[in-house]
Amino acid sequence: MRTLKNLLSLKDKVALVVGGAGYLGRAICETMAELGANVVIVSRDGEKCKIFAEELNEKYKTKNYGTSVDILDVKNIEDLMTEINEKYGQLDVLINNAWSGKKNSFESITFEDWDYDIDICLNAVFYTTKLAVPMLKKTKGVIINTTSMYGHVAPDHRIYDGIEFANPPSYGAAKAGVLQLTKYLASFLSPHGIRVNAVSPGPFPFLETLKNKEFKESLESKNMLGRVGEPDDLKGAFALLASDASKYMTGQNICVDGGWTAW
């Protein structure tokens, strides 16, 4: 019987984290590196990814790499996969974590905003996964999709007055789509030994949001644990799903939301 430490180890694995240099992405990359993986960190800001990769190299003595990618450009993603193959010769873990979009209410969102959000949050997950699967087949790898509590439940309009902190209708619709895509992929990639799961974060507000005491308190009041999430709160779920500690789990979603969606 393998020890838990052995099951959680990602030593000599290669993990690609899309959106890895952002607020939550950094915690995900830290988790992969701490467990021994070599992490490929990508986002639109390549320089930010390179600097973060060097930090992880120094801290964990793993072989991390940062670069830019446009996840709406299929050729750009293809080039990234070629680069990973040439640099590491394998891909074991794919984490789709990118997000970009405007704060919008139903009234303020434009057709262009809607299309962009759906492209980034849903279509890009499909593009990246489609192009990563050939490498993941060789390693019987793992895919983790970052979704959201708003893929399960609707935002409460009473806590979103105006558009400063509003959650756009496109966001939850896309994340619900990612949840279904996760289940579909878990089914159709299972013959290749690829496991596919999702993590749904709850309220993890950015620092500028936390400065608004009234809004922060309204988020906390809707949460069983009475607080908002911190990036470290995601580490356990991603460690579990990326490693052999979850080797009998696929097609599942873990809500890391302080109990928000349970009532």
Which domains are present in the chain? 4-256 (3.40.50.720)
Per-residue confidence at 165, pLDDT binned at 50, 70, 90?
confident
What are residue 151's phi and psi, to 5 degrees?
A: -85, -10
- Among residues 228, 157, 240, 156, the alpha carbon closest in space to that of 199 is found at 240
β-bridge partners, 256: 201
123 token code pair: 């279509």
Residue 107 has pLDDT above 80, yes or no: yes
Q: What is the CA radius of gyration of the chain?
A: 18
Per-residue confidence at 210, pLDDT binned at 50, 70, 90?
low
For helices 124-139 and 169-189, angle between their N-to-C axes, nearest 10 degrees: 20
160 token code pair: 């979103």
Lowest-confidence segment of 138-147, 187-196, 216-225 by average pLDDT: 216-225
Ramachandran class of 212: left when φ > 0, alpha when ψ lies in -120 to 50, beta otherwise: beta
Q: Are 95 and 28 in contact (CB under 8 A)?
A: yes
For the question of residue 171 being annotated catalytic, the response is yes
Catalytic residue among 60, 65, 127, 171: 171
pLDDT digits (tens, 9 = 90+) for 125-161: 999 999 999 999 999 999 999 999 999 999 998 888 7
Residue 209 has pLDDT above 80, yes or no: no
Rounded CA-CA distance 58/36 in Å is: 13
pTM (2 d.p.):
0.96
pLDDT digits (tens, 9 = 90+) for 81-103: 999 999 999 999 999 999 877 78
| pLDDT score, position 232 | 96
| pLDDT score, position 68 | 97
- Reduced to 3 states (helix: H, G, I; strand: E, B; else coil), residue 66 is strand
Mean pLDDT in residue range 242-258:
98
